[in-house]
């Protein structure tokens, strides 16, 4: 069964850090572009970052200084490390995998991602 399963979400205090994980099954992540997305309350989904098959990483504006995407090929998992979290980082985070020949930047259309996880909630609050 092909699926992506996110984990690691939860409640964190402002200024804290959190690591999200996205484990793949039924396919090899190494042959896909991997992306992390966020949907904040009342807002549209936004792309945060991507990890390409050669290992390049790209971040949307303002995310590169606090977020890091990394791939663990041995575990077929992609992680999102987040630091200095603020209440504005609250949202529903999801990962996706897509065609490396079509996705070359963070702003690529969501329709190019073929596989999506169910997501995990992150709440930043004191």
Q: How confident is the model at residue 7 (pLDDT cuts 50, 70, 90)?
A: very high
Cβ within 8 Å of residue 74, ≥6 positions away = none
Residue 14 tokens read as: 């402002």
Name the CA radius of gyration of the chain, rounded.
Answer: 13
Could you list the beta-strand ranges (E) of the chain: 3-7, 10-12, 18-25, 33-39, 45-51, 57-59, 67-72, 77-82, 91-98, 113-116, 120-124
Mean pLDDT of the chain: 95
Q: pLDDT tens digit string along 53-84?
A: 988 999 998 787 899 999 999 999 999 999 99
- Cα–Cα distance, 88 to 107 (Å, whole number): 20
Average pLDDT over residues 114-120: 96
């Amino acid at each position: 069964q092909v699926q992506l399963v996110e984990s690691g979400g939860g409640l964190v205090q402002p200024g804290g850090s959190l690591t999200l994980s996205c484990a793949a099954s039924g396919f090899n992540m190494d042959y896909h572009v991997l992306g992390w997305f966020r949907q904040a309350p009342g807002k549209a989904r936004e792309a945060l970052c991507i990890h390409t098959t050669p290992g390049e990483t790209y971040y949307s504006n303002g995310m590169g200084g606090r977020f890091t995407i990394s791939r663990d090929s041995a575990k077929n998992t992609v992680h999102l490390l987040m630091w200095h979290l603020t209440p504005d980082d609250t949202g529903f985070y999801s990962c996706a995998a897509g065609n490396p020949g079509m996705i070359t930047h963070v702003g690529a259309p969501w329709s190019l991602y073929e596989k999506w996880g169910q997501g995990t909630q992150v709440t930043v609050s004191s």
